């Protein structure tokens, strides 16, 4: 009897749905630019599998959002502060968020995915709840910057005594490949590297990077240098992500300032300088790491560091190895012993630094001591 009643009701509902605008059932408020606030019932219908229970969930939701925004690159900085606070910045080159919605996206049930609910290996989403839920459990979440068609930067800070994370955040999952060569996860800790590997394996055309603030800055810097070359060559259709300006910066202090003000990334002046001197290498993407095959042995985060390659740039001094630098130093000492004698001078051991296309040699001088 009850069942009969219910199916009659469902039938009627279906009948009404067919003749009514889809939005009447789902939308509480139109917010413009394709954004809406969903009705509570609709948000509930789009139940996610789980709420935000750990740091790994936060990273997953932020990267999913970047992917849904059509990004081809997403850069995750993952840095711990005083062993307790986890700082995460996610930068993407997706479609960005219209100015008027920068605050609204953190409210409950606000979404742009009203018609196309997205389903992936983590379940159905498009409830407009992830950012709102993260805001409830994080110490802080900020939209640092977002520009239409230039991408988005979101920063969050989490107290890991309130929202836990897996202890091991360095090991990537073990992988296996099936007969057709398709790679899948075979085990390993349920940490952030694993969440990102899952997303990399399941999202076509999305390259995912993971590193410290300085490592990610170096990676973005190199990306921007390459983009600017194509741009300068007059090629149409070059994307200009929110980090496009980076590659034009030539000075450590400016790079440090740009990062803090425009990208919301804290990188010391010293590290900014080291990035410009190409002493901090850009990272390879997780996709590349997976392709290179860590099938037998699980990879670690350090494996994302690229080996120095000559074709990165015109960094000529990098080609000289330490042995040859020492030979230069020894010869110089020898030559100066001879020359310095004439002037009653003696030299300290030379200090030699490699800087892009030059080596800088400094030779401290003293009065020659008698005897
Ligand atoms: N990186 C991003 N790039 C562009 N738009 C974004 C980004 N992150 C969030 N948004 C916008 O903010 C809206 C709200 O995001 P939120 O994650 O809270 O909800 P959702 O993705 O719609 O659904 P769900 O709760 O299932 O994640 C999204 O619908 C999207 O329009
Ligand atoms: Mg989302």
How many residues are given for the chain?
A: 371
Going by the DSSP 8-state scheme, the letter that residue 179 receives in this structure is T
* pLDDT tier for residue 2 given thresholds of 50, 70 and 90: very low
Which residue is associated with the tokens 């910045």?
Answer: 89
pLDDT of 276 > 60? The answer is yes
Residue 173 CB contacts under 8 Å (≥ 6 apart), including other chains: 185, 186, 187, 188, 189, 193, 194, 197, 298
Nearest CA to ligand 1 atom 29: 111
Q: What is the pLDDT of residues 289-322, one digit of tens each?
A: 887 655 556 788 888 887 655 444 557 777 777 7
In this structure, of 230-234, 321-325, 344-348, the range with the lowest mean pLDDT score is: 321-325
Task: Give phi and psi for 6, each to the nearest 5.
Answer: -65, -45
Q: What is the pLDDT of residues 66-117, one digit of tens each?
A: 999 999 999 999 999 999 999 999 999 999 999 999 999 999 889 998 776 6
Going by the DSSP 8-state scheme, the letter that residue 139 receives in this structure is S
Work out the burial of residue 42: count CB atoms within 10 Å of its CB; fewer than 13 is exposed, 13-18 middle, 19 or more buried. Answer: buried
Q: What is the pLDDT of residues 182-240, one digit of tens each?
A: 888 989 999 999 999 999 999 889 999 999 999 999 999 999 999 999 888 887 777 89
Instruction: Measure 371 CA to ligand 1 centroid, in angstroms.
Output: 78
Token pair recorded at residue 124? 């159905």
The ligand 1 atom nearest the CA atom of 129: 25
Nearest CA to ligand 1 atom 31: 112
Q: Which ligand is nearest to the CA of 92?
A: 1
Q: Which of 48, 64, 68 to mutate to test the pocket of ligand 1 (most atoms within 8 A of CB)?
A: 68
Per-residue pLDDT, 109: 86
SS3 annotation, 263-277: HCCCCCHHHHHHHHC
pLDDT of 42 > 60? The answer is yes
In this structure, of 34-48, 76-90, 355-369, the range with the lowest mean pLDDT score is: 34-48
């Amino acid at each position: 009897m009850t069942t009969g009643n219910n199916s009659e009701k469902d039938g009627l509902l279906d009948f009404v749905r067919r003749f009514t605008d889809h939005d009447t059932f789902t939308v509480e408020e139109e917010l413009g630019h394709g954004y809406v606030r969903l009705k509570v019932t609709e948000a509930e219908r789009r139940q996610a599998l789980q709420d935000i229970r750990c740091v790994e969930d936060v990273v997953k939701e932020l990267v999913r959002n970047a992917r849904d925004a059509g990004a081809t690159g997403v850069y995750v900085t993952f840095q711990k502060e005083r062993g307790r606070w986890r700082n995460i910045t996610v930068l993407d080159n997706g479609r960005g968020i219209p100015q008027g919605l920068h605050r609204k996206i953190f409210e409950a049930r606000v979404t742009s995915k009203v018609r196309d609910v997205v389903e992936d290996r983590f379940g159905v989403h498009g409830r407009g709840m992830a950012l709102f839920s993260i805001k409830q459990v994080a110490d802080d979440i900020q939209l640092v910057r977002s520009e239409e068609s230039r991408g988005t930067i979101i920063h969050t800070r989490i107290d890991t005594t309130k929202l836990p994370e897996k202890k091991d955040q360095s090991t990537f999952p073990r992988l296996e490949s099936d007969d057709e060569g398709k790679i899948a996860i075979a085990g390993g800790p349920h940490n952030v590297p694993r969440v990102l590997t899952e997303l990399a394996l399941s999202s076509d055309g999305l390259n995912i990077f993971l590193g410290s603030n300085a490592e990610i800055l170096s990676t973005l810097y190199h990306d921007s240098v390459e983009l600017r070359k194509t741009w300068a060559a007059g090629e149409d259709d070059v994307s200009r992500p929110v980090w496009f300006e980076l590659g034009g910066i030539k000075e450590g202090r400016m790079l440090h300032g740009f990062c803090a003000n425009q990208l919301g990334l804290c990188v010391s002046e010293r590290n900014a300088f080291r990035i410009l001197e190409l002493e901090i290498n850009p990272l390879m993407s997780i996709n590349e790491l997976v392709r290179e095959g860590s099938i037998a042995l699980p990879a670690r985060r350090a494996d994302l560091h690229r080996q120095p390659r000559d074709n990165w740039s015109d960094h000529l001094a990098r080609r000289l190895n330490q042995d040859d630098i020492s030979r230069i130093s020894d010869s110089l000492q020898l030559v100066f012993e001879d020359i310095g004698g004439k002037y009653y001078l003696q030299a300290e051991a030379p200090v030699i630094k490699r800087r892009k296309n030059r080596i800088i040699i400094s030779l401290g001088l003293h009065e020659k001591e008698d005897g």
